Structure formats: structure tokens, C-alpha cells
Amino acid sequence: MGLAARRVASVDHVSTTPLRLVTAEDRHVQIASTIAVPTIENEAQLKALIASLSGVDAVGAEARAAKLSTRSIKKSTKLAAIEMAISMIDLTTLEGADTPGRVASLCTKAMRPDPRDLTVPSVAAVCVYPDLVAHARSVLGSSPVAVASVATAFPSGRASLQVKLMDVRDAVVGGADEIDMVIDRGAFLSGRLGQVFDEVVAVKEACGDAHLKVILETGELVTYDNVRRASWVAMLGGADFIKTSTGKVTVNATLPNALVMLEAVRDFAETAGRTVGVKVAGGIRTSKDAIRYLVLVNETVGSTWLTPHLFRLGASSLLNDLLMQRLKQQRGVYVRADEFSGD
Amino acid sequence: MSDARLDVRKTYKLLIDGAFPRSESGRSYKVASTKGAFLANAAQGSRKDLRDAVTAARGAQAKWWNATAYNRGQVIYRLAEMAESRRDELAEHVALAEGMNSRTSQKTVSASIDRMVWYAGWTDKIAQVLGGTNPVAGPFFNFSIPVPSGVVGVISVQESSLLGFVDAVLAPICAGNTVVAIASEARPTPAALLGEMTSSSDFPGGVLNVVTGLTSELAPVLAAHEDVDGLDLSGVTTEVGDELAALAAGSIKRVYRPHEKESDSSLRRLRAFVETSTVWHTIGQ
Amino acid sequence: MSMCAPMNSAGTDVSDRQLANSQLGSLEYDPAPESAAIAKLKPSYGLFIDGGFSDGEAHQQFATVNPANEETLSMVAQASSVDVDRAVSSARHAYDKVWSKTTGAQRSKYLFRIARLIQERSRELAVVETLDNGKPIRESRDVDIPLAAAHFFYYAGWADKLEHAGFGVNPKPLGVAGQIIPWNFPLLMAAWKLAPALAAGNTCVLKPAETTPLSALVLAEILEQAELPPGVVNIITGDGVTGAALVDHPDVDKIAFTGSTEVGRMIQQRTAASHKHLTLELGGKGANIVFDDAPIDEMIEGIIDGIFFNQGHVCCAGSRLLVQESVADEVLRRLVRRVEQLRVGDPLDKNTDVGAINSAAQLLRIRELTDFGESEGATRYTSSCALPQKGYWFAPTVFADVAQSHRIAREEIFGPVLSVLTFRTPEEAVAKANNTNYGLACGVWSEKGSRTLWVAERLRAGVIWTNTYNRFDPTSPFGGMRESGFGREGGRHGLEAYLNV
């Protein structure tokens, strides 16, 4: 079954980087896994569990994120971080104007980001709309790059559950390894947590072997308390990843939102014994941005999460900046943007 | 003459924790008028009496501070009402103690009562005048409030037995402190009388404690007592004040020493035993 | 709660427990050191008196060392009582002849100039501070230096508005202010002292701490650059003897001291029989009170900031953690995990979280008190971080199972050492927090507004941080109650210390 194999394969790039220190964090998760989160049987139980979560002080969360963003990543760490970031990219095109040609060139870039230097890892996945999944799949062939597809009436999610599930099945049938669903923010904001949960469960089931990323759309949830709560609803519902944003609203991924989500996956791993990944998406354009997220991951959940299994960067233009910075680290001089293809 | 009425002589007692004990030492001393005539006996407080007074003041402090400022104002105003209704008695004591004619003593009593009213009106304004919000550069609501130092020892001015006493004890009290006052040694009766009035004007026990006796014996004890937070040295000479101030340093007391010309409207006394407490709170969604 | 096994073992083994190894790993960051050369240190510095540098009359010097490696940074002059007298005379002369005749608007502009110059030389100052003090460059760069500039900026604006400050219509300066500052925030404390004093119209003699004189001497250069009239600020280096000479000098009108309660008490005694005005900012044993509804992640960060900021060399450090018993295990588990993540090492490295202990003497005191902590039966957790071979270092340490009566719960350790105690009710929390002779700062962590205010109202502390800790701002009054001293620095209140009102 290709999906899991692909995901594992994409991780292999990372194992060669010096960054990944396998520490006891892995054991840590297993030790804690004896403490089980109860199976959610009804909405009242879900709500009680969500209500028991600690609040988030916005000022403290933002201060923590700002402090970590002052970390100075230099020299070999920087080079390794750049390569790690490349391997974690979900190279994304989600435009109404997407065509098979556009997707094909994206896939080509995804497999070999720098055709002159094959030591540059391929990205983790390409991310497209469901109708282009099959095409992406065929271009990528046997490469380790996964195909991710947004589904569930992305980006608003304003459709019936049946339509959303059909959207998912469509993508899965087309060969998607990963499904990026959106939660029903309307339901969440009006307190219908059970509905949000049920949708995640239903979509997870519809995914089959495909991995499920649950987009919280933090820009619409607004508060960090909501981000934490939505993270838990998604994880309890079976999310393999929780993801910040669609990239289609004004506020996309932010460091503090990512921080709160990373804390959620850390705490979930400790209490439920299952590791869930985090994907940040939208507005991440520079190597500096990407490295800040990696530092955040490193210092919040530990290096266990520093693999494409568990951390992704949803982006498009970021890749070229990473390639430019990588070349700059190697050459010692700043390079032209035109060094790299504009895909 | 044999059938002339023999007057009943009053012994002025201490005020500690709302009660009027004699000195635990069993001592008293004679109080004379400025002309040397016998006025009264007053309890001669001891170091143990002072200790008890400080304990009482400490015990009363949190409750007094946690009462609303409005309530503290009412209590002090009630004292003014009591003093007004017994003004002749006060004036007589002031006249005898300070060697004034009755007109002057009446004026002194008037000024003292007006001073009480002034402080009654301050209780709920101190926070607004001395406190405020601070526009810190960050997402915080930051405000400063004046809070009492705690227990204040007052060595009351020796000459001005009523007005000086009122000013010295009510300034810290209206700010939420509790007070242990050593009354004027030679002229203790107006202070003692005022102490009696507090017991019928809603003052909680322990808020004002008055110890009469020898200043030279009592003042060093008060100055060195480590559970006293502030010290008013109005009632001693500069030289003695220097010594007492050094004793007060033992527990980092706030020390008030009068300026030569203190204007009536100065807030120095109020500020002397007020601390600024600043609270930061995060502002965020 | 498998992670808090050490805590549950009932104190039988109180040997130095390394933090459980099953904690977070870390991305190995390459060293990112700021260059020491930026400090442009001179081999030696004289005394800054009457607008220029000069040798002390006895030509005595002492070394100031980098606590991170024990290397001598520079030689500075030891001011004798003759030098103190010269500095005070210079300040008096400047007060009489120049500064008291300088308008508020002019004083204001000098202060604005100084603020700007600090900003312009901020990188240099940050490196100087880190070299001399041992604090992480991230802190000197992001906290000490910007706040010092901000302090001058803030008080600059007061100089021509004193009649509006609420101290009467014509508030007067005191005259010559003698200012003695500590080694934990050398430049920032200089700013806290000088800015309000100058704004109010006083002239100053400032004595920086013996182990951290350098940033004040760079500040002296800045004052020259700003063309502040000679004698308005004099900066003299030396030890406690110099400080005592300044305190005792008869022509000083005001002493402002920041330092230990022990020395503060002595200063209060020595100035008792004088006309000198006095403000004291002394020690503390701040309680950080954690309720069960605290925002847990930010609270953990706040506890960390509260005690490990500046190696815990902070008078307002949250050195006592009071945790509601129902969440104590969870809080301790997370706290210990977080402590293990702190990056301890080269203060000049931009990624360092905890730097060097400022002096051998301070290190000794920290060791003594922590040894006591163990012998008193508290459970010790020490970060397993590697410590450099040279220099003065102490690994971040947390003591659990601490009782109110333990010395580590009562005495100021002034180092990266946290004592954890528990409480059951808000009443008990307040009682324990207030059960100290100090009264400088406290923290309260709870999402329930009414409760935080209830607690804040009852805490005997000059500064109370709710859901945050160790925040400073020039507009915000800072200072203690009880044996933490008297007088405020910062804000409108800070002017009172330098006005004859």
C-alpha cells in the first residue's frame, strides 16, 4: 500500500540531516501513553473535556513566540534547517486558474527542487484541488513526493456533509495520500462541537488509508483558546495532522497560533498516547519564517516532531527562497532570484 | 466647707484594641496644668502596653484597610460629630493642658474638628490623587494604587495636645493604616478624651491605640519594634529624633519628620505612610 | 503522572537529582556569539568627575572581570574619600552655578539627547553589559539597554512639567544626589537613578557596583557626547568603602540606594541623624502564586522568566512558587521539563537563556543556600546542562517539597534557584505570600479576574504581576514595602524621590 510507504520514504531525506537528534522524547510519548483519553461517546462528554483545557493567555503566548523568533540560527545549523524545511514543504497550488500544466510543473519542481543539485531533498508533498489529484499522481509517478488534496468544500467548508465526503472520496480515488479538510468554523463558533467532531470522524473514515490533516482556520477562530479547543476536537476526532489555515483568509499561520497548536499536540501525545502532526500554512514566504517555525517546533515539542511525518509547511514561494538561501550559504554570496525556476 | 462637694477625679486610661485598660505595670502619673495645678492621673504605659497596642493595631489593620474607603470616611466623620457634641469638654481640657483662654481653646477645638472633617473627606480620594494608570509600552493594563504602610507609630507632638494629635493620627488612619500613638507626655488628656470618643464613633477596635506615659521611656520601644511599619517623630527633639530614626532603620521603617513649616494643606503626612502598589495585567483576547 | 516520579518519592533520596533524561531533545544550534570586540573596552578607566576622566588621588585600581571566563576586562579606579569629596564638590558646584539655573526645557533636551545616544550605542552597550555582568546578550540587547534608553526618554518629558506632577505648584529639587547601584542591571539601574534625578533638577554622584562598573563608564562617555554640563553627573568607581564615603558625605542631600536589605539598613542608620533624604530599593523573596485555572503554558513560561531571567539576580525575582496543591504535580512536572530546556552557557551567544553568575562571592552564597535546601529536606532538581569549565556558573535549580520554615523559602538567594511550596485556598496563598519581611513583588496566575484582583489587593508587595512576570516600564512605579525598601522608581511617583515635597 503505497501511501504509508511514501510517507516513510519522504522521511528518509531527513534522517540524513544532522539536526534530528533522536532523544528520549520518543520514549517519553510512549511512557505517557498509558494515560488514556476516554472515547468520546456524546457531545456533553466532548464539551466537558474541551472545557477542562487550560486557557491561553494571549500576551504570554505571543511573548513566548516572539522570544523564540529571536533565536539565531547560523552556519551549518542554518543549512541543515533549510534542507529540513524543504523536505517539509507541501508545495501548494490552490487557484481557480490551476491547470494540468501548472500542476505538472509544480510536481517536477517538487521532486527535484534544484535540478543541478540532487542533494537537495524533494519536498514532502504537492497540494492541489481534488480534480487535479490524479494528474499530480501520474506526474509524480513513483517518486516519494506525496499528493495532498484539499477537500470538504475547501476553503469555506460550507456544504453538506455528504458533499464534503464525496469531495474527499473523489480525491482519495484520484490517488491522494493526504487529505486536508476544513472544520466547520460556523459550527465551532456556535458551540456545536459535536458536529465538528463528527465531521472529522466521518472524513477520517472516508480517507481510508490517506492521512488526514484538519484545517482549523485559526484566522476565523480568532482566539488562542479557540485554537487550542479546536485542536483537541480535531485530534480526538482522529486527525493525523492539525493545520493552521487554508491560506484563503486574511490571517494565516502565525507563530503564536502554531505555538498553541504545538502545545496541544504535545499534551495530546502525553495524555492520549498518539502523536499528531502540525502543518502551518499561508503567508510563509521566507527562509527566516520557516526556520522560526522549526525553532518553535524544536523548543515546544522537541526534535521528534522535526520530521515531515509530524511537521509540514504549506507554501509555494517559500521553496525558492529556501533554495536561494541554501545556495547563499554554500557560495557565500547572495544569489539572483532567477537562479531558480519560477514554479 | 465641710459640706463642699468633693469632686470625682478621673484617671485617664490607655486605649488598646478598643478597650481602656490601666497600664499593665500598674503605674500612673500626675498630669498638671501649665500652672502646676493637679488635673488628673494618667496611666503610665509600659513597653508591654506598647507591645499589646502594636499587636492590636496589626490585628485590626487588614480589616480597616479592607473596609471601603467610603466607610472609613464615615467613621472618621462620625468622630468629628462626636467631638462637636463634646466640644466644650474638649476645649476645657485643651485650655487647662495648654494654658489657653477659653476662646483660644474653642478655636483650637474648632480647628481640630475641621481637621477631622478634612480627613474624613480624604479617604476615598487618596487613590485618585496618588494613584492612577500607567501607560506602559505593551499589552498590559497597569495601575498604581496607594496602599497603607501598615502599622504606624506616632510620637505625638508635645505642645499641640489636640490639633497636633488629630493631624498625626488621622492622616495615617484615613489612608488605611492603624496607629499606635504615644500621647503628649505632659498634656495627655485631650488625646485620651479623643480616644474615648472613638469608642462611640464606630472606630473598630485596634485602629487607634493611645498610650500615655513617659515619651523617653516609650518612644525607643516603638521606634525599635519590628512590627511597626512607619514612625512619626513629631513629638521629640531633633537630637532624640535622630536616635529614634536610627532605631527605626532596624526594620526599614518609613520615618516622618516634620518640616519646620508644614502647611496645613500639605499631603506630606498622607504620603508618608502610603505605599504605591502597582498591578500589571495582560490585555488579550 | 509517570514523569513526576522523583517528586513522589518521599524525600528519602535528596541527592542532586538530574532532571529525568526523558525530556525534550534540542536542535543543536551552532554557536551564534556576538563579537566581544564591539565593546571597544579600554584597558583602564578613570573617575568621571567634573565632566572629564581623571585618576583617583591614590592612583589605586582594581580589575573588573568577565564572570563567564574570569578574564580581566579592564582596570578601573578605586575612588577614595578624597575622590568622593571631589565628586560631591563638583556636583555641588554644578548644582549651584549651572543646573539649578538651567530651565526645565533645557534639562529635558539634555535627557532626550542621552536617551538617543544610548539607542545609538545600544549594541556596544549590550556587549559591554554582557561581558561585565555575565547576563545573556539577548537580555542586555532586548531588555537592559532599550529600557535604559526608554527611562531617559520618559523622564526627559517630565523635566519641564514638574508643576503638573501633583506635588504642589513649585516643586524644588533636593540638591546633590548620591546614588549607589547594584550589579544585576548596571546600566538600567544607572538610568533609573540618573534620569528622574536630573529631570527634577538635581546633580548626581553615581557609584556603580564594584563588579560591574563598565557600562556606567560608557554612559559617562555618552554624557560627554551629549555635552551635559561638567559636574552635573559624576561617576565614581569603587567598592563598599567608596559607597560609605558617599553616604557619609555631609554635602550630599539625598541618597538613593539599590542593593541588599542588609546594606540598606546600614545606610538608613547612617543617614538617620542627617538632613539627607533617602530612598531604598532592597531585597525580595517574591511569591509567584499559581491557581488551578492558570493559563498553564504561559504560566510555566512566567515562572521560568520569574526566576531564571538574569540568572535570578533580580530583587523582584519570583523565587517562591506557591502552587495550588491540586495542580502541584502537573506544574512541577512541566516546570522541570522546561528547566531542562534552558540553554545555559556563553553569555555572548545570542541563543543563551541563562548566563554566568556575576561573581565568585555570589556563587558561593548560592551554593551555601542551596546546600542548606538539601539538608533541610527539600527535593532538588538541577538541570543536567553542561557548565563551562571556567567562570562562575550555577545550573538552574528547582526545589520541591519546600516548607515555609526552610531557609530557601525565606532568604533571598539571588540566583537561579526556585523554591516550590503549595497552598490549598486563596486565603492560604495570600498568607504564605505575605509571610516574609520583604514586600517587593508577587505574581498571580489565574484566569479568574475577580480572584486575581482579590489576591492582588491583599498582597503586601509594591509590584504585582498578574498572568505575567518581570515586566518593567519607565511609566510604571517600582519599589518595595516593608524591608524591601521605600520610595518608588519609575512613573510620576519616581519624581517624588528627587523633589523636596
**What does the pLDDT average to over A186-195?**
97
Query: Residue A201's closest CA among A237, A232, A236, A234?
Result: A237
Q: Shortest CB distance from C27 goes to which of A28, A263, A303?
A: A303
pLDDT at B264: 66
CA distance B18 to B195: 9
Q: Which amino acid would we find at residue C435?
A: N
For residue range A134-177, what is the model confidence (pLDDT) as tens digits? 999 999 999 999 999 999 999 999 999 999 999 999 999 999 99
Dihedral Cα B185, B188, B194, B195, nearest 10 deg: 70
Cβ proximity of A234 and A216 under 8 Å: yes
Q: How far is B65 from chain C (nearest CA, A)?
A: 10
> Known catalytic residue: A57?
no
Angle C99-C101-C103 from CA coordinates, rounded to 5°: 90
Dihedral Cα C345, C350, C351, C357, nearest 10 deg: 30
For residue range C410-456, what is the model confidence (pLDDT) as tens digits? 999 999 999 999 999 999 999 999 999 999 999 999 999 999 999 99
For residue range B140-154, what is the model confidence (pLDDT) as tens digits? 999 999 999 999 999
CA distance B44 to B206: 19
Q: What helix, strand, coil percent values describe chain A, rounded to 5?
A: 55, 10, 35
The pTM of this model reads 0.92
Note whether B136 contacts C471, CB cutoff 8 Å.
Answer: yes
**DSSP per-residue letters across A69-132:** TT----HHHHHHHHHHHHHTEEEE---TT--HHHHHHHHHHHH-SSTT-TTSPPPSEEEE-GGG
pLDDT at A339: 87
For chain C, the first-to-last Cα distance in angstroms comes to 58
Note whether C477 contacts B62, CB cutoff 8 Å.
Answer: no
Burial class (CB in 10 A: 0-12, 13-18, 19+), C111: buried
In the block, which residue shows the cell 513522589?
C8
Q: Shortest CB distance from B136 goes to which of C265, C475, C486?
A: C475
Region at C231 (left for phi over 0; alpha for psi -120 to 50; beta for the rest): left
Query: Residue A28, Cβ neighbours under 10 Å: how many?
Result: 24
Give the strand pairing for B274-282 and C463-466.
Answer: parallel
Q: Is A66 on the interface with C (CB under 8 A)?
A: no
Task: Indicate which CATH number applies to the domain containing B276.
Answer: 3.40.605.10
Angle C404-C322-C477 from CA coordinates, rounded to 5°: 105
CA distance A144 to C242: 72
Note whether A222 contacts B284, CB cutoff 8 Å.
Answer: no
Three-state DSSP state, C239: coil
pLDDT at C84: 98
Query: Residue C277, Cβ neighbours under 10 Å: how many?
Result: 20
Residue A34 lies in a domain: no
CA distance B214 to C288: 45
CA distance B92 to B162: 12
Run of H or E including C206: strand C203-207
> Known catalytic residue: A279?
yes
Residue B2 lies in a domain: no
Listed by number, the residues of chain C in 11-70 with a beta carbon closer than 8 Å to a beta carbon of chain B are: none
Q: In what order do the strands lie in the sheet with C71-77?
A: C44-45, C71-77, C61-66
Q: Which chains touch A (3 or more CB pairs under 8 A)?
A: B, C
**What does the pLDDT average to over C142-171?**
96
The pLDDT of residue A11 is above 90: no
Note whether C293 contacts A54, CB cutoff 8 Å.
Answer: yes
CA distance C396 to C304: 10
Mutate to test the interface with C, among A28, A56, A70, A271 (most CBs of C within 10 A): A28
In percent, the amount of chain C with pLDDT more than 90 equals 94
Residue B6 lies in a domain: no
The pLDDT of residue C13 is above 80: no
Q: Is A57 on the interface with C (CB under 8 A)?
A: yes
pLDDT at C431: 97
Chain A CB contacts of B280 under 8 Å are none
Q: Is A343 on the interface with B (CB under 8 A)?
A: no
Task: Indicate which CATH number applies to the domain containing A274.
Answer: 3.20.20.70
For residue range C15-31, what is the model confidence (pLDDT) as tens digits? 333 333 333 334 789 99
Cis peptide before C230 (omega within 30 of 0): no
> Known catalytic residue: A243?
yes
Angle C36-C42-C45 from CA coordinates, rounded to 5°: 130
Q: Is B282 on the interface with A (CB under 8 A)?
A: yes
* Lowest-pLDDT choice from A292-296, B38-42, C201-205, C222-226: B38-42
For chain A, the first-to-last Cα distance in angstroms comes to 30
Residue A335 lies in a domain: no
* Lowest-pLDDT choice from A12-21, A69-78, B117-126, C181-190: A12-21
Residue A230 structural domain: 50-330
Q: Is A60 on the interface with C (CB under 8 A)?
A: yes
For residue range A273-293, what is the model confidence (pLDDT) as tens digits? 999 999 999 999 999 999 999
Cβ proximity of B279 and C476 under 8 Å: no
Burial class (CB in 10 A: 0-12, 13-18, 19+), C389: exposed
**What does the pLDDT average to over A88-94?**
97
Q: Is A191 on the interface with C (CB under 8 A)?
A: no
Note whether C25 contacts A299, CB cutoff 8 Å.
Answer: no
Note whether B282 contacts A59, CB cutoff 8 Å.
Answer: yes
Q: What is the ipTM of this complex?
A: 0.94
Three-state DSSP state, C148: helix
Question: How confident is residue B266, by pLDDT bands cut at 50, 70 and 90?
Answer: confident
Q: Is C351 on the interface with A (CB under 8 A)?
A: yes
* Lowest-pLDDT choice from A138-147, B266-275, C484-493: B266-275
Residue B1 lies in a domain: no
For residue range A26-51, what is the model confidence (pLDDT) as tens digits? 333 333 334 456 788 899 999 999 99
The pLDDT of residue C296 is above 80: yes
Chain C CB contacts of A260 under 8 Å are 297
Q: Which amino acid would we find at residue C251?
A: D
Residues whose CB is less than 8 angstroms from the CB of residue A274 and which lie 6 or more positions away in sequence, other chains included: A33, A235, A268
Residue B7 lies in a domain: no
**DSSP per-residue letters across C382-440:** E------SSS-----EEEES--TTSHHHHS---SSEEEEEEESSHHHHHHHHH-SS--S
The pLDDT of residue B204 is above 70: yes
CA distance B122 to C370: 48
Residue B115 structural domain: 12-282
For chain B, the first-to-last Cα distance in angstroms comes to 88
Strand segments, DSSP code E, in C208-286 are 233-235, 254-258, 277-281
Three-state DSSP state, B262: coil
* Lowest-pLDDT choice from A323-337, B44-58, C122-136, C389-403: A323-337
> Active-site residue among A78, A109, A204, A279?
A279
- Number of domains composing chain B: 1
Listed by number, the residues of chain C in 439-498 with a beta carbon closer than 8 Å to a beta carbon of chain B are: 452, 456-468, 471, 473, 475-479, 481-486, 488, 491-493, 496
For residue range C62-82, what is the model confidence (pLDDT) as tens digits? 999 999 999 999 999 999 999
Three-state DSSP state, B156: coil
- Number of domains composing chain A: 1
Dihedral Cα C432, C437, C442, C448, nearest 10 deg: 40
The pLDDT of residue C8 is above 50: no
Give the strand pairing for C71-77 and C44-45.
Answer: parallel
**What does the pLDDT average to over C11-17?**
32
